[in-house]
Structure 1
Amino acid sequence: MNTNVTLIATAAMGLESVVAQEVKNLGYTDVEVANGRVVFKADVSAIPRCNLWLRTADRVKLLVGEFTATTFDDLFEQTKALPWEQYIAEDGEFPVIGKSVKSKLYSVPDCQAIVKKSVAERLKLKYGVASWLQESGAFHRIEVAILKDVVTLTLDTSGSGLHKRGYRVGQGDAPIKETLAAALVQLTNWKADFPFVDPFCGSGTIAIEAALIGQNIAPGFNRNFVSEKWHWIDSNLWENAFNEAEDLANYDQVLNITGSDIDHRMIEVAKANAIEAGLGDLINWKQMQVSDLYPRIQNGYVIANPPYGERIGDKPEVEQMYKDLGNIMNDYPSWSVYILTSNEDFEVLYGRKATKKRKLFNGFIKTDYYQYFGRHI
């Protein structure tokens, strides 16, 4: 089998360039950025490495084939022509999911059924199976995605989404995804030797992701991936990837990271999540309202996803939080401040126009990432 593969790292809208940079940082240079995805060619060893290391991607998918189809016959025959036996063993389980946008083949259930039947026919032919395939072995989820009659067929190598790091034992009402939290940190120039504060920490996700970045700990180190059981990926490749992650982790890096929240219950949840992440006492957790934030060290960073005030009853309280934060940080011009919110009046409430803004989506909520660059001393 050819050891070169084409992979697709899927990304939330607005984070494609961040994911692309992560892919390049892993040493893969044949990279193409598109809406919602980063496509790159690499050796098979990239499957374990990318699943372990990509902090901001949603999933890593293996591209099996891409073609144009305008009829169900086209879809069936071109799917059947692909080398599915290279990836799915005789007993492999292979459910099919799908989506279709602006295409003649608009019925997703029909497309899924046709792809399922086509792959089954190919596998039965190659494995010499006359009856039904047992599908009792390793799991391979196929996705048929059709956009303007272009069919893309992939296998999901991740299993659970990459945001599921395995450390979240508790959460608040509106937790930020781990992948977005990591992106908020990576979109700054924060380094591990600078103080870091999240004064609206909730269940602690941003601070935890910062600590993982600060100590160069692979975000997927404490979880499993579905492709670990695929027969054609040598187990040594997974072992090597995990060993590399262990070797590159800098557990001795000293961190000055603080997460605070007005709700004492969230502080307890954040502590539990940090312990589950293996970070123990590396992060300082405090029950505190934002008006009590007074940095004692120069040249730090505030990175936060505060409440947005979208519920009418919460709006005055949230607006006061923004004002308090602006008043405090105005006295600390050497600090950089990065705030994600959907509140369009944030700059007015904060009291200062942002140095830079970036549009991002927090789930389905359209937000802006307000960036205030500190004048470092």
Structure 2
Amino acid sequence: MTLTIPCLLGLEALVADEIKRLGLAGVRAENGRVHCEGTLADIPRLNIGLRCGARVLMELGEPFPAPDFEALFQGVLALPWEDFIPREGEFPVKGYSLNSALHSVPACQAIVKKAAARRLGNAYGCETLPETGSRYQIQFAIIKDRASLYLDTSGEGLYKRGYRARNMGAPLRETLAAALVTLSRYRGKDPFCDPFCGSGTIPIEAALIARNRAPGLDRRFAAQKWKSMDPKLWMDAAEEAQDKEFHGHYDIWGGDIDPAAVELARHNAALAGVEDCVRFEEADAGKFRRGGEYGQLVTNPPYGERLLEKEEAEALYRAFGKALEDLPPKWRVIVLSSHTEFERCFGRPADKKRKLYNGMLKCDAFFYGR
């Protein structure tokens, strides 16, 4: 079957690499999503193991032409819904349409729901389906008048690891935090720092990467309740992930000027099971100092749009840039910011930049050092 992993724009190559490392074939990336070929056993492996993907979708059939509502209805009706959705299954519908004649998403939702209900009703011999059982979320994507239909195996997005009950102000998605750590090429050997740690997401994701701990081990997924999914597949995937874990000593540090943030970060690290390999301290990023010849610094300072006034954010960037002037030259620094004047305020241009999105907020990752 074809499995599709949506992701934040800019992370497609990282997600594709993750999927390849899990041994899946036919990996191909598009804007905002990555496809691969797999089996039912790969659904739990992807859900448990992916760090940067948003969710895991099971594609039902090949994409088909949908220039009008009748074509959409007939295409959905032809799909084998009864192979996956039982008589009592709940099957809500959501999706999107881009550059297509069928541009009304609510109307498309209604057509997809009606066609799937017709197919299931015919299969189970009933006019009205109870929908009292487990959820089988249907998703559709209509792009340039071609429709693809999926079942969402994840439920809540994969960025919801389960360790962050709340956050400090503007949250950084766990999937994006993991991507930034991956881009820094951190693997657990060198020191790792985040001077604006907030609720601790970046250092916690760094600790998970250092230990090679699968991010989905401590949460549940929608497809675990599906009758078509053998529970043994989930147990096998979890055992496989646990067998790959490392155990060692790591120099991972997070600092924040807000003592409440530091306390929350420690709490979140404990929930993630990495409190033994990450330190959080109350610290002023404008006075950051760090020795050691090598290391990675990855951080997400306040942007100015929501947490601070723009002038305050710019003053903070200037102080932070000044503090990093004494950082040893072989340190690698990545700063994520949506502020259009970040480089000017920081005091020097980035060696390279990469466009990313934190949810719907367009950002740049500024790279300094080797």
TM-score (norm 1): 0.94
Equivalent residue for 1:270? 265
Number of matched residues?
Answer: 368
> Which runs of structure 2 are paired with 1:124-139 in the superposition (5 Å)?
124-127=121-124, 129-139=125-135
Does the aligned pair in 1 maintain the 2:302–2:308 contact within 8 Å? no
1: CA distance, partners of 2:72 / 2:340: 46
1:90 paired to 2:74? no
Superposed displacement of residue 296, structure 1: 2.6
User: How big is the alpha-carbon RMSD for the aligned residues of Structure 1 and Structure 2?
Assistant: 1.5
1:53 paired to 2:49? yes
Of all paired residues, the percent bearing the same amino acid is 46
Superposed displacement of residue 313, structure 1: 6.2
Superposed displacement of residue 336, structure 1: 1.1
SS of the residue corresponding to residue 207 of structure 1 reads: helix
Equivalent residue for 1:346? 342
Higher mean C-alpha displacement, 346-355 vs 200-209:
346-355
- 1:220/1:72 CA distance change after superposition, 3 Å: same
1: CA distance, partners of 2:270 / 2:25: 36
2: CA distance, partners of 1:142 / 1:310: 35
- 1:304/1:312 CA distance change after superposition, 3 Å: closer
Pick the aligned partner of 1:116 from 113, 116, 133: 113
- 1:202/1:6 CA distance change after superposition, 3 Å: same
Pick the aligned partner of 2:297 from 286, 293, 302: 302
Q: Residue deviations 1:237-270, cap 9 Å, x none?
A: 11100111111111x2211110001111111111
SS of the residue corresponding to residue 60 of structure 2 reads: strand
Does the aligned pair in 2 maintain the 1:303–1:337 contact within 8 Å? yes
1: CA distance, partners of 2:206 / 2:18: 15
Superposed displacement of residue 280, structure 1: 2.1
Superposed displacement of residue 72, structure 1: 1.7
> Which runs of structure 2 are paired with 1:156-235 in the superposition (5 Å)?
156-235=152-231
Q: Which amino acid aligns with 1:172?
A: M
Does the aligned pair in 2 maintain the 1:169–1:276 contact within 8 Å? no
Pick the aligned partner of 2:75 from 78, 85, 94: 78
- 1:313/1:200 CA distance change after superposition, 3 Å: closer
SS of the residue corresponding to residue 340 of structure 1 reads: strand
Q: Which amino acid aligns with 2:150?
A: T
1:316 paired to 2:306? no
Equivalent residue for 1:153? 149
Does the aligned pair in 2 maintain the 1:329–1:335 contact within 8 Å? no
Q: Which amino acid aligns with 1:328?
A: A
2: CA distance, partners of 1:303 / 1:37: 25
Q: Residue deviations 1:203-254, cap 9 Å, x none?
A: 110010100011011100100000011112221111100111111111x221
SS of the residue corresponding to residue 200 of structure 1 reads: coil
- 1:92/1:7 CA distance change after superposition, 3 Å: same
Does the aligned pair in 2 maintain the 1:63–1:154 contact within 8 Å? yes
2: CA distance, partners of 1:326 / 1:282: 27
Q: Where does structure 2 lack aligned partners over 5 or more consecutive residues?
A: none
Pick the aligned partner of 1:327 from 322, 329, 338: 322
SS of the residue corresponding to residue 155 of structure 1 reads: strand
SS of the residue corresponding to residue 30 of structure 1 reads: strand
Does the aligned pair in 2 maintain the 1:99–1:146 contact within 8 Å? yes
Q: Which amino acid aligns with 2:135?
A: F
2: CA distance, partners of 1:80 / 1:46: 27
- 1:214/1:121 CA distance change after superposition, 3 Å: same
Pick the aligned partner of 2:8 from 5, 9, 12: 12
1:240 paired to 2:236? yes
1:261 paired to 2:256? yes
Does the aligned pair in 1 maintain the 2:304–2:310 contact within 8 Å? yes
Q: Residue deviations 1:90-143, cap 9 Å, x none?
A: 22111111322222222222221221121111112222x233112222210101
- 1:327/1:107 CA distance change after superposition, 3 Å: closer
2: CA distance, partners of 1:147 / 1:189: 35
- List structure 1 runs of 4+ shifted beyond 4 angstroms: none
Superposed displacement of residue 312, structure 1: 10
Does the aligned pair in 2 maintain the 1:10–1:58 contact within 8 Å? yes
Does the aligned pair in 2 maintain the 1:304–1:338 contact within 8 Å? yes
1: CA distance, partners of 2:101 / 2:84: 29
TM-score (norm 2): 0.96
1:280 paired to 2:275? yes
1:69 paired to 2:52? no
Superposed displacement of residue 352, structure 1: 2.2
